[in-house]
Amino acid sequence: MKTNLTKAKLRAGETVHGAFFRTPDTSLIELQGFLGWDFLVLDGEHGTLQPRDIEDQARACELRGLTAIARVTHNDAPTILRFMDTGAQGAHIPFINTADDAERAVQSIKYHPRGQRGLAGIRAAEFGRGAPLSEYVQQANAETLVVAQIETGQAIERLPEIVKVDGVDVVFIGPNDLAHSLGHAGNIGHADVQAAMQRIADIVLASDKVLGLMVYDSVGARLWRERGARYITVPFESVLCPAVKHYLQDARG
């Protein structure tokens, strides 16, 4: 298994930047490798991506040194297994509301002795033709990145226990669902939502976990980097759409 460059940068105290992709096009994914992203989140939760799509996209990421992270549909071991076996080097697990949820996620991503992930000669293990599976298991346990998404008021209340779960690397604020959970759907800027996000940040930054979140522009990225976030993501559409609009406005004069 290849070194997880994103995880290595986080361990070194660096900040990493990635984008969410919801479409299955592999050429578009490969192109991103020329643009400077550290990682891409291949979104199987809020898109049409299936494990087969993510397997091809993971190949495209590897061609250009990008870390492929899968966002799974839900915190379920058989589901996570199928996404991880594609060769993704980590997973976003939605709606982590308790320490038990976080523990279940870690055990689904990691092999024995830390977890209970099923083992086979799949693509992630180089089809069983590379290193012996005994070595692959150790490498995978060291290299896979576990991202726990915090998206509800309940999760905030349980966050002091969640951040103690061994094996969780990144605690990730999902602002849209968090706002929805707090009764402010579509209004991330509401004072209650912003206060909740800051509360999450304070708890995470006082732990040994990395703070991550989704932003929607470079201003948000800089703001949250200054607040201590080191795993910063943006929906690809939030980068693409303003660039296209700017081009057309400028071209049409």
Residues that are catalytic: 46
| DSSP letter (8 states) at residue 45 | S
What letter represents residue 9's amino acid?
K
Q: How far apart are CA 212 and CA 200, in angstroms?
A: 10
| DSSP letter (8 states) at residue 36 | T
Interior/surface letters 21-59, b for 16+ CB within 10 angstroms, e for the rest = bbbbebeebbebbeeebbbbbbbbbeeebebebbbbbbb
DSSP string, 162-187: HTTSTT--EEEE-HHHHHHHTT-TT-
CB–CB of 175/216 below 8 Å? no
Contacts of 88 (CB under 8 A, 6+ apart): 42, 54, 58, 68, 69, 70, 124
Neighbours of 114 (CB within 10 A): 14
Neighbours of 219 (CB within 10 A): 9
